[in-house]
Chain A
């Protein structure tokens, strides 16, 4: 009996020591294994497209909400929680910093205000959002949670209309530049006025719009609702130059590549209307797509709509424009819960000045003013865009699109093509460096609606790739992307037109998949001008190379190593991210002697040591949120063609063996009179147990498309 008692005691101790997360994982009935059962889909995925057909708009969006939750609930929840600053409740203490970052910046607060405004002023939009939310919530209450929740031992919380708006705000924030102005200040403090001149003027650039934009006097004071480094390509081809004799539009927005993809490709069909394109899971409306009458696409302009203000502080009081003011205190409570259900609560006090929430950077307090922290109506804009039948409808809809400013390309069934820089520009003197708020600098004196100044109707063709929008008489932006992708697209379009006079859908696909990096032209010049022995050796190799960043090329690997190390050696000592400063600026800073010219030779010598082919170094690394614990949820690693400056962009993070986790988040081509073609970097279904989870990933890597309309 004594032996039995000892054995049972040992078992009891063992049980006590087992972490609940491990026990949950091993439970075949109520653990993750339960997810093998899945109810039948509420709406089919046809040819990778979620297809909703309904008799009314209300029914369609209800069913869409239900279907989004069926296919993507966990992903939706993660995005919502990031915006809320509540990710730690789901994923544990590791997410606390992210939570503090976003909660401090007040995204969800502005999403709440925006929703209340939409609810009272735009009943049609509110109905769509509410029906969608009802659909999501009915899915949550009527079905077992997806596998991720079963692993974590958590349950999804109900969806709210504010969550829809919050996801839009999150995307807007991620495209708005974040703390770039503060990083620029750090560089300017160290390198002086000459660096600022180089960074702001960028003599070597190709603006989207060739003419100078004139903003003064302000074109638009803004409506009452506004009072209160990502990269992408898009282009349009007019019917005269299109092989289909109808307008053509192409778009490949470059965003974070994730498993499942950041977009869901959907078709919502109601009597008299069919909208096809990509939407963010958690939001009902098509962001990029077509409704058969018009088609639209976006890339980020990088127009600066965030300002930072510093003050003289006395405790929590700050001196603003001649007056001492008490900063508003917002106490935020954060909860983090680990996988075993142990929770901790943290409190952070956020100060707010007249300009916005206070953040700390490099030991200094700055108040952040972001256009997106106002009531913004992008949901209204997208609702109207989804219904637009012509350019006039489309432009009316764009008035509601406040931030982030986008290079909007437009094409329609009648053959009109157009370009607009969307959004509003806060009118102020400067904006690239933090303002002295105590002196009253940098106050916003109204807003300019960008399409009134930055637009072009019916160009023969036009391309954007986050390059400079236009020279202007006011400050617009400083962080536009290097011109290489834009110039390459234009070069290839011109080449096709020169050859046959027309551009075909196949041509457009080939351009989207192009991996020639024309930055090599600038780099060759740099090596020729400033290099020594190693540079000459590298130059000789580059001269015999077509600048194609193909996986089998060792020269491509040497070139990429050179570029990466050049940026690293140039900027790492300044404590800024390596992607902050465009290559054009780095080259100019080296040529002007602002940076040590010897680094060119040193970096060339390092690059020559590279002997692996590019594809062995440069691989897609597309992860699920829980992929660090469950690597099988990540997409398979595979060689990635392209590089930072190719049209088929694949920016590697070299510190981690050139792993690529950003790129074309969708490739879309709308060719009126022909069809809609698309390619998604992953599967339409977010359930890792579904065969559709990664179904389109490898076809996307290979550059294949499906015709979806």
Chain B
């Protein structure tokens, strides 16, 4: 599987365009996207960068609205900055949270037998816990 596949999970919040339930769009979709991203991630570095990855759908939505009407978009940002901040923060927060949970869950399932074996074995040279 390509290492790029995990980034498709970042587009999951865009499903909100088809769901008229605010809570789903603000919390659930980014959380689901994050879970998938975390599950597909290969290391902790991916999780650490998940807030930045969460900005991908933000950028897509921003570009969409800018292309619809640039002036109105700018006035929206100027008049309702709180709404914009809430949106971006919630997507970053829930995506990152999902990523963390997804990653930990994957590790706890996928690595638990190996970890048990490794814990039983003595440390090799150069290997650290």
| Given A15-B27, A688-B79, A27 and B65 contact (CB-CB distance below 8 Å) | no
Residue from A4, A7, A33, A630 in contact with B87 in the complex, judged by beta carbons closer than 8 Å: A33
In the complex, whether B121 has a CB less than 8 A from a CB of chain A is: no
B129 at the interface (CB under 8 A from A): no
Do residues A35 and B76 form an inter-chain contact, with CB atoms below 8 A? yes
* Binary contact readout B37-70 vs A (1 if CB under 8 angstroms, 0 otherwise): 0000000000000000000000001000100110
Asked whether A193 is an interface residue with its Cβ less than 8 Å from the other chain, the reply is no
> Given A29-B17, A32-B83, are A8 and B72 also a contact pair (CB < 8 Å)?
no
Q: Smallest Cβ distance from B84 to chain A, in angstroms? A: 8
A-B contact count, CB below 8 Å?
99
Q: How large is the interface on B (under 10, 10 to 19, 20 to 34, 35 or more residues)?
A: 35 or more
8 Å CB contact of A23 from B27, B61, B79, B97: B27
Report the bound CA distance from A1 to B101 in whole Å: 10
In whole angstroms, what is the CA distance A28 to B20 when docked? 11
Complex contacts, A25 vs chain B, CB 8 Å: 80, 82-83, 86-87
Q: Taking chain B's interface residues, is the majority helix, strand, or loop, or is none over half, making it mixed?
A: helix
Closest Cβ–Cβ distance, residue A11 to chain B (whole Å): 6
Whether A15 contacts B86 by the Cβ 8 Å rule is no
Question: Which residues of chain B are within 8 angstroms of A633 by Cβ–Cβ distance?
Answer: 79
Judge whether A28 and B87 touch: CB under 8 Å: yes
Question: In this assembly, does A686 line the interface, its C-beta being within 8 Å of a C-beta of chain B?
Answer: no
Query: Most chain-B Cβ atoms within 10 A of its Cβ — which of A1, A7, A28, A31?
Result: A28
Are B79 and A31 closer than 8 Å at their CB atoms? no
- At the interface, yes or no: A36 with Cβ under 8 Å from chain B? yes
B residues near A3, Cβ cutoff 8 Å: 104
Residues of B within 8 A of A23 (CB): 22-23, 26-27
User: Shortest beta-carbon distance, B111 to chain A, in Å?
Assistant: 13
Bitwise interface map of A from 1 to 37 toward B, beta carbon under 8 Å scored 1, else 0? 1011001100100010010101111111111110111
Which one of A11, A24, A29, A38 has the greatest number of beta carbons of chain B within 10 Å?
Answer: A29
Question: In the complex the two chains form, what is the Cα distance from A35 to B65 in whole Å?
Answer: 10
Query: CB distance B75 to A689 under 8 Å?
Result: yes
Instruction: Give which listed residue, B25, B72, B94, contacts A689 with CB less than 8 A.
Output: B72
Contact A4 B27 (CB under 8 A): no
Whether A349 sits at the interface, judged by CB under 8 Å, is: no
Chain A contact residues: helix, strand, loop or mixed:
helix
Is A321 part of the binding interface, using a Cβ–Cβ cutoff of 8 Å? no
Residues of B near A7 (CB, < 8 A) are 97, 100-101
Q: Which of B26, B97, B108 contacts A27 (CB 8 A)?
A: B26
Chain B residues positioned under 8 Å from A35 (CB to CB): 72, 76
**B83 / chain A contacts, CB cutoff of 8 Å:** 25-26, 31-33
- Digit string of A27-65 for contact with B (CB within 8 Å is 1, else 0)? 111111101111000000000000000000000000000
Query: Are B69 and A37 in contact, with the CB atoms below 8 A?
Result: yes
27 contacts between A and B (CB under 8 A): A4-B105, A11-B27, A11-B31, A11-B97, A15-B23, A20-B23, A23-B22, A25-B82, A26-B86, A27-B16, A27-B26, A28-B25, A29-B19, A30-B16, A30-B20, A31-B83, A33-B76, A35-B72, A35-B76, A36-B65, A36-B69, A36-B72, A37-B68, A632-B79, A688-B79, A689-B75, A689-B76
Q: Give residues in A with beta carbon < 8 Å to B.
A: 1, 3-4, 7-8, 11, 15, 18, 20, 22-33, 35-38, 630, 632-633, 688-691
CB-CB nearest 10 A-B residue pairs: A26-B86, A632-B79, A27-B22, A26-B87, A689-B72, A25-B83, A29-B16, A23-B22, A36-B65, A26-B26
Known pairs A26-B83, A688-B75. 19 more at Cβ < 8 A?
Answer: A1-B105, A7-B97, A15-B23, A24-B22, A26-B26, A28-B16, A29-B17, A30-B21, A33-B76, A33-B80, A33-B83, A36-B72, A38-B69, A38-B72, A630-B79, A633-B79, A688-B79, A689-B76, A691-B75
Taking beta carbons and an 8 Å cutoff, which residues of B are in contact with A? Answer: 16-17, 19-23, 25-27, 31, 61, 65, 68-69, 71-73, 75-76, 78-80, 82-84, 86-87, 89-90, 94, 97, 100-101, 104-105, 108
